[in-house]
């Protein structure tokens, strides 16, 4: 079976991390070699980004527009490093790659946080050399449900975990294929029970092999 590159996307609290882990285990149980990964990546730039997201490193900027542009450039650099150092080699070795987030997150988060000043077209251009996934599963969840899940987590509040921002992002994700017309994107209602949601995620992933 040819290796596939699958991405899971959604707002904070949608369940991308949970379902990335579950999908990797389910594929392995079907004797499919699989590698689970995430963005920001575990590479050098990705580690800096995680420090920024958890407020351990502060980005100095004149305003939200400049900050969004700085983050967009960092995320794009991390993504190319991620593809070259991890995603492409794993696929070349015949393993499926399942990623918790990809360039869809950059387009969504940086365009929304800049008030639209960081245009989708510019963000797509920054990421034009990023390898396209074979399938992207968008976990659609209401902002209220996602908020409850975030509050239930023990982790500290991250940079983008603002209720009003997450509500805007939820709307953006519901229509994200408008900005990626050539990508294969499947939406899954993630407001439901986690096992029901995962059944749909797994079905979509296995369908990508067809």
Query: What are 24-36's pLDDT values in tens digits?
Result: 999 999 999 999 9
What domains sit in the chain, N to C, each tagged with a CATH number?
5-207 (3.40.50.300)
Q: Residue 12, class by beta-carbon neighbours within 10 Å (0-12 exposed, 13-18 middle, 19+ buried)? A: buried
Residue with the larger pLDDT of the pair 184 and 155: 184
User: Which positions ≥6 away from 75 have C-beta within 8 Å?
Assistant: 39, 40, 49, 103, 105, 106, 110
Question: What is the pLDDT, as a whole number, of residue 158?
Answer: 66
pLDDT at 12 over 60: yes
Q: Which residue, among 64, 139, 144, 72, has the nearest Cα to 103 in the 3D structure?
A: 72
pLDDT class for 155, splitting at 50, 70, 90?
low
Q: Which residue, among 101, 117, 114, 121, has the nearest Cα to 49 in the 3D structure?
A: 101
What pLDDT, in 10s, does the model give residues 97-119?
A: 999 999 999 999 989 987 665 68
Question: What is the pLDDT, as a whole number, of residue 116?
Answer: 64
């Amino acid at each position: 079976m040819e290796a596939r590159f699958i991405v899971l996307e959604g707002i904070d609290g949608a369940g991308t991390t949970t379902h990335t882990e579950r999908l990797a285990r389910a594929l392995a149980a079907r004797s499919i070699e699989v590698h689970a990964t995430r963005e920001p990546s575990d590479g050098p730039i990705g580690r800096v980004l995680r420090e920024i997201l958890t407020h351990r490193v502060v980005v100095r900027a004149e305003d939200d527009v400049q900050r969004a542009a700085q983050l967009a450039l960092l995320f794009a650099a991390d993504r190319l490093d991620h593809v070259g150092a991890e995603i492409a080699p794993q696929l070349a070795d015949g393993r499926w790659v399942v990623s918790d987030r990809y360039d869809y997150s950059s387009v969504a988060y940086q365009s929304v946080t800049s008030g639209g000043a960081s245009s989708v077209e510019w963000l797509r251009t920054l990421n034009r050399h990023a390898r396209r996934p074979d399938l992207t599963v968008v976990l659609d969840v209401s902002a209220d449900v996602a908020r409850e899940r975030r509050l239930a987590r023990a982790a500290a509040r991250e940079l983008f975990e603002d209720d009003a921002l997450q509500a805007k992002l939820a709307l953006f994700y519901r229509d994200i294929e408008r900005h990626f017309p050539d990508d294969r994107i499947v939406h899954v209602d993630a407001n439901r029970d986690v096992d029901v949601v995962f059944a749909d995620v797994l079905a979509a992933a296995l369908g990508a092999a067809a």
